[in-house]
């Protein structure tokens, strides 16, 4: 084999030396020419550039799957596989000749560079590593080395999310490419994808996304190293191992340099580095890549061009021939040779391949590329079907072809499905372009091309939808152009920038739709905020001019303007004056922010002072003096409710003028509480609860806000929840009494009902319903009704208020009442059969400080019939169900458990264990001053006779001297009551004269004598 390099010029150098551009210039300078390129994608790019130079009628494009052949075309752009072995054109160029060393395709490049020549000029373009082998194989060749137009620098290792814009990220598997592209979409807005398995149309569309600036990142395989002209500033290797068709191996320095060299175009410098899980490159390798010093190619892959078609065996032997020239090595079996090996084992193939022309036809069929990437055996089966049709029918069965094409003609499905259909249709596109294989090749060429284009467009759409955030990419492009962004805001606050939904504007806060992080996400927000700057100022002006009706304070402490949150309340030391914290982005600045803050604070102060006007007026009262002022301060600090026992000394010391001055501000002095009835309504209660929660971090405490609906529904009492914060009951106007909480004003009405029952004395007039002996009383329907409670609840409530119960039998109670000549025994109850229920009246708010005696309702139903007399009650013991004892309630005292005889009758606690109210006190709250309300000289208790009028402040003495504090005066005519009653202070008895005949007188006289 004698080879010559005369009239052959090798233009060698690293990437970005302008070799391809030089070859195009040289080709169009000749009358005819042909250029071979390594990729169909690159062939398409060069075809477009040549058409721009000489016109579409003068340029042909020939690849394995595509043929554009104008009748008088002078120039041809081909893939290397499509180049003929001989030609008569004046100019021939072969690009990327270093691929002659590739294990899979190298033998094709080797054959063309050794044998294909132009009549006038032949150019071989490639890496400088080819210089020694070309000088060895082609004596007389002219070698021209071109320097790189820009420099290449190593940038080290970076995270994928921190890679600079205009970066190409290189990986070597589809899964890895997709994973990286998905990550970049989430973090940086999107990426274009370039894979060798994509159709040229899809790859062109993806490269267009990158080149036009719609995305700043390109994720690709090593396909970008094959001469694609891309505007890449940085190349990052996410993998450094690849499968070369035979094994997984590390990329050699030459391959790394070929890919890294894509960074930097023309005179613009570029950088390269690693990312992901790739270790940083060592210094020696970095220096070689930066200076383009790579090991020379020592051998080229070779396969014979002299095929023996006499038989299949002879053809196989010719393919196994070894080169006789030093520098060439026999190539490993390619796909076509592997398919021939499989088919030669099939007896039916061997039988039919009995002539040289059929052996040649079999070899031609084996050249079908394996676009589907299936196993060699499966690919061989498809070739067998085509070969049998060609031998037996002369052409491929078009019915079979039509069925295969029909299956691929669907654009539904995801990326992998569409990629598989494109690979299938590319197979039939190749078949339609083989000369002599089809009866109507033109129809099928157009049909398969149309389907491939449609599938390619669908695949591009899916790739873009999955890996490109259109909203972010368009915005980034406009930002790079420093263009003014157009923003729109819908009536519901949706923000559109450049027609893309960017997020939601609520008040003065913008929330972007994308939840990603990183520089691009921040740029998105910056762009949106920049476009919204004018809107923020306009909103601030509208808010400043808004009326109070446009604002509202929610139970969460958030101030809303027209429904949008604009501020949050923060608790301070002064409970009625919380601090206002604006909820606004940093873009609300300057005077606009000051105006918003001032308007919101003005509304908050006005709203609190309006809803809590009685409390606000009391806090600002200037006419209160001394103890009244101090008591008012405590009432404000406690948000309108004080337990009377906690300020008993202050109340006792407060004179009538001080009480009257506080009443003018709506303060009521009740038996159990000092409170402001106007605050026991839903709106004030809700505001009071919120203010307390803000100061005490109570917004998240259990029970917050749950009692306001109960108050709004008019409920006078409610079953308590052990998990609730107990303070919330007080803030909502309820008194916590064990298992039930009762509204404060209702408890005062209960006190008004109990008071006349304890003040009534036997023989002083008609006995009120519920009165018993002047010291004790029974629960009535009226009490149950206003409380909305059952008899069991009533017992808990009275015990919580400090009352104690004596139990007597129904017979004893009936006999007692009969002896007093009172109402029928039916008025006695053991346990009422029916409860009043929880449907209390809404108008339970007393407007006066003086207690109003509630009119007694119908007598409480007893266990016995209502018409029974006292004797009927006594006979009730014979009934099947034993009647329950009657509970007689009396004010409790500290000595209840220390009376003679142990614990009182009816007290169900163990002996020695006293009952105490929720405050831990064993006395009835507010019993001081009950008979002489507020210490007034001319006041008298409801139903009383004014017997204490003019007695001064006697009621303010200690327990020993205050008849009221020591409980009701016992009835001297009826004897001692059951149980341990409290003894009353009695006036001194007059001394009687001593009987001189009595033994005591004589004993006294004897003592006197002894003393003398």
User: What confidence tens digit (pLDDT) does each residue in 812-825 have?
Assistant: 888 888 877 644 33
The more confidently predicted of residues 987 and 473 is 473
Residue 934: which pLDDT band, with cuts at 50, 70 and 90?
A: very low
Highest mean predicted confidence (pLDDT) among 336-345, 372-381, 875-884, 900-909: 336-345
Q: Show Cβ contacts of residue 814 under 8 Å, excluding neighbours closer than 6 positions.
A: 825, 828, 870, 873, 874
| pLDDT beyond 90 at 522 | no
190 conformational bin, left if phi > 0, alpha if psi -120 to 50, beta if neither: left
pLDDT of residue 471: 66
pLDDT of residue 227: 58
Task: State the chain's mean pLDDT as an integer.
Answer: 80
Q: What average pLDDT score do residues 121-127 get? A: 94
CA distance 390 to 543: 83
Tell the residue number behind the tokens 């060749």, with chain if given: 141
Least confident of 245-259, 521-535, 702-716: 521-535
Q: How far is CA 890 from the centre of its chain?
A: 60
Instruction: Please provide the distance, in angstroms rounded to a whole number, between the alpha carbons at the two ends of the chain.
Output: 171
| pLDDT beyond 80 at 245 | no
Which burial class, exposed, middle or buried, applies to 723 when counting CB atoms under 10 A from its CB (0-12, 13-18, 19+)? exposed
Residue 8: which pLDDT band, with cuts at 50, 70 and 90?
A: very high
Q: What average pLDDT score do residues 77-98 get? A: 93
Please write the tens of the pLDDT for every residue from 451-474.
999 999 999 999 998 888 776 666
Q: Show Cβ contacts of residue 505 under 8 Å, excluding neighbours closer than 6 positions.
A: 489, 493, 494, 495, 511, 532, 535
- CB atoms under 10 Å from CB of 499, counted, come to 9
pLDDT of residue 981: 40
The more confidently predicted of residues 836 and 191 is 191
CA distance 255 to 544: 67
Tell the residue number behind the tokens 């026992």, with chain if given: 645
The more confidently predicted of residues 247 and 658 is 658
| pLDDT beyond 60 at 914 | no
CA distance 385 to 381: 6
Identify the helix (H) or strand (E) that includes residue 454: helix 441-467
| Percentage of residues of the chain with pLDDT beyond 70 | 78
CA distance 567 to 581: 5
- Cβ–Cβ < 8 Å for 689, 731: yes
Residue 846: which pLDDT band, with cuts at 50, 70 and 90?
A: very low
Q: Show Cβ contacts of residue 226 under 8 Å, excluding neighbours closer than 6 positions.
A: 38, 39, 42, 96
3-class secondary-structure state, position 115: helix
The more confidently predicted of residues 986 and 5 is 5
Q: How far is CA 659 from the centre of its chain?
A: 56
CA distance 772 to 828: 9
- Cβ–Cβ < 8 Å for 352, 325: no
Least confident of 476-480, 804-808, 826-830: 826-830
| Percentage of residues of the chain with pLDDT beyond 90 | 44
Please write the tens of the pLDDT for every residue from 142-197.
999 999 888 899 999 999 888 998 999 999 888 899 999 998 888 777 899 988 77
Tokens of 391: 């031998």
| pLDDT beyond 80 at 1007 | no
pTM for this entry: 0.54
């Amino acid at each position: 084999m004698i080879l010559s390099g005369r009239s052959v010029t090798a233009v060698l150098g690293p990437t970005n030396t302008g070799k391809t551009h030089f070859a195009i210039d040289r080709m169009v300078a000749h009358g005819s020419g042909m250029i071979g390129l390594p990729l169909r994608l690159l062939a398409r790019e060069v075809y477009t550039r040549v058409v721009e130079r000489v016109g579409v009628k003068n340029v042909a494009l020939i690849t394995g799957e595509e043929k554009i052949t104008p009748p008088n075309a002078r120039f041809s752009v081909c893939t290397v596989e499509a180049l003929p072995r001989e030609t008569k054109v004046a100019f021939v160029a072969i690009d990327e000749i270093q691929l002659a060393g590739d294990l899979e395709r190298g033998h094709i490049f080797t054959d063309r560079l050794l044998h294909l020549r132009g009549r006038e000029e032949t150019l071989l373009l490639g890496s400088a590593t080819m210089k020694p082998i070309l000088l060895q194989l082609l004596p007389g060749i002219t070698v021209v080395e071109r320097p790189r137009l820009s420099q290449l620098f190593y940038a080290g290792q970076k995270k994928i999310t921190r890679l600079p814009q205009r970066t190409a990220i290189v990986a070597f598997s589809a899964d890895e490419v997709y994973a990286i592209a998905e990550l970049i979409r989430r973090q940086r807005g999107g990426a274009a994808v370039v894979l060798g398995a994509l159709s040229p149309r899809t790859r062109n569309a993806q490269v267009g996304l990158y080149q036009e600036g719609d995305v700043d990142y390109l994720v690709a395989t090593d396909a970008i190293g094959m001469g694609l002209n891309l505007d890449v500033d940085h190349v990052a290797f996410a993998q450094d191992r690849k499968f070369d068709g035979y094994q997984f191996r590390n990329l050699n320095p030459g391959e790394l340099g070929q890919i890294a060299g894509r960074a930097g175009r023309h005179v613009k410098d570029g950088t390269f580095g690693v990312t992901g899980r790739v270790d940083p490159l060592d210094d020696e390798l970095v220096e070689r890549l930066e200076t383009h010093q790579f090991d020379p190619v020592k051998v080229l892959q070779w396969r014979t061009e002299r095929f023996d078609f006499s038989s299949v065996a002879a053809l196989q032997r010719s393919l196994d021939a070894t080169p006789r020239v030093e520098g060439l090595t026999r190539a490993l079996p390619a796909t076509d040779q592997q398919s021939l090996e499989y088919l030669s084992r099939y007896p039916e193939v061997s039988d039919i391949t009995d002539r040289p022309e059929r052996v040649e036809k079999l070899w031609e069929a084996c050249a079908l590329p394996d676009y589907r990437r299936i196993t060699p055996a499966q690919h061989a089966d498809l070739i067998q079907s085509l070969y049998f049709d060609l031998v037996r029918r002369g052409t491929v069965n078009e019915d079979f072809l039509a069925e295969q094409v029909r299956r691929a003609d669907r654009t539904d499905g995801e990326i992998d499905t569409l990629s598989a259909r494109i690979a299938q249709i590319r197979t039939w596109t190749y078949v339609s372009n083989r000369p002599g294989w089809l009866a109507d090749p033109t129809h099928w060429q157009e049909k398969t091309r149309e389907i491939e284009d449609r599938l390619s467009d669908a695949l591009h759409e899916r790739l873009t939808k999955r890996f490109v955030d259109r909203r972010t990419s368009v915005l980034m492009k406009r930002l790079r152009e420093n263009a003014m962004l157009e923003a729109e805001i819908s009536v519901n606050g949706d923000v559109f920038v450049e027609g893309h939904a960017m997020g939601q504007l609520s008040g003065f806060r913008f929330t972007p739709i994308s939840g990603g992080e990183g520089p691009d996400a921040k740029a998105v927000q910056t762009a949106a905020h920049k476009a919204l700057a004018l809107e923020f100022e306009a909103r601030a002006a509208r808010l400043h001019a808004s009326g109070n009706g446009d604002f509202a304070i929610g139970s969460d402490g958030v101030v809303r303007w027209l429904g949008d949150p604009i501020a949050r309340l923060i608790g301070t030391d002064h409970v009625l004056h919380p601090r206002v914290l604006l909820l606004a982005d940093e873009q609300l600045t300057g005077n606009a922010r000051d105006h918003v803050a001032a308007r919101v604070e003005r509304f908050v102060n006005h709203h609190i002072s309006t809803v809590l006007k009685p409390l606000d007026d009391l806090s600002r009262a200037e006419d209160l003096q001394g103890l009244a002022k101090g008591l008012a301060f405590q009432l404000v600090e406690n948000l309108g409710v004080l337990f009377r026992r906690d300020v008993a000394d202050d109340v006792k010391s407060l004179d009538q003028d001080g009480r009257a001055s506080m009443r003018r501000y709506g303060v009521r002095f009740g038996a159990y509480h000092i409170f402001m009835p106007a605050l026991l309504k839903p709106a004030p209660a809700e505001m009071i609860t919120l203010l307390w929660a803000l100061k005490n971090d109570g917004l998240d405490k259990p029970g917050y806000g749950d009692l306001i609906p109960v108050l709004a529904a008019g409920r006078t009492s409610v079953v308590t929840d052990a998990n609730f914060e107990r303070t919330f009951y007080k803030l909502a106007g309820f008194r916590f009494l064990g298992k039930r909480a009762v509204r404060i004003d209702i408890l005062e009405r209960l006190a008004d009902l109990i008071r006349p029952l304890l003040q009534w004395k036997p023989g002083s007039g008609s006995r009120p319903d519920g009165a018993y002996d002047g010291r004790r009383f029974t629960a009535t329907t009226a009490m149950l009704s206003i409380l909305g409670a059952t008899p069991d609840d009533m017992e808990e409530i009275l015990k919580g208020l400090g009352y104690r119960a004596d139990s007597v039998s129904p017979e004893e109670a009936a006999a007692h009442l009969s002896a007093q000549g009172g109402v029928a025994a039916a008025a006695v109850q053991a346990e009422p059969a029916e409860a009043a229920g929880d449907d209390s009246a809404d108008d339970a708010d007393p407007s006066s400080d003086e207690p109003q005696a509630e009119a007694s309702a119908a007598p409480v139903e007893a266990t016995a019939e209502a018409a029974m007399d006292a004797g009927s009650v006594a006979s009730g013991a014979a009934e099947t169900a034993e009647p329950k004892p009657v509970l007689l309630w009396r004010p409790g005292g500290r000595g209840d458990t220390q009376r003679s005889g142990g614990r009182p009758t009816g007290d169900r606690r163990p002996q020695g264990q006293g009952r105490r109210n929720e405050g831990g006190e064993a006395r009835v709250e507010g019993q001081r001053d009950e008979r002489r309300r507020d210490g007034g000289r001319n006041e008298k208790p409801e139903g009383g006779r004014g017997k204490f009028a003019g007695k001064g402040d006697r009621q303010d003495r200690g327990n020993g001297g205050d008849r009221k504090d020591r409980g009701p005066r016992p009835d001297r005519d009826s004897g001692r009551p059951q149980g341990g009653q409290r003894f009353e202070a009695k006036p001194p008895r007059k001394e009687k004269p001593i009987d001189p005949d009595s033994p005591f007188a004589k004993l006294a006289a004897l003592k006197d004598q002894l003393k003398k």
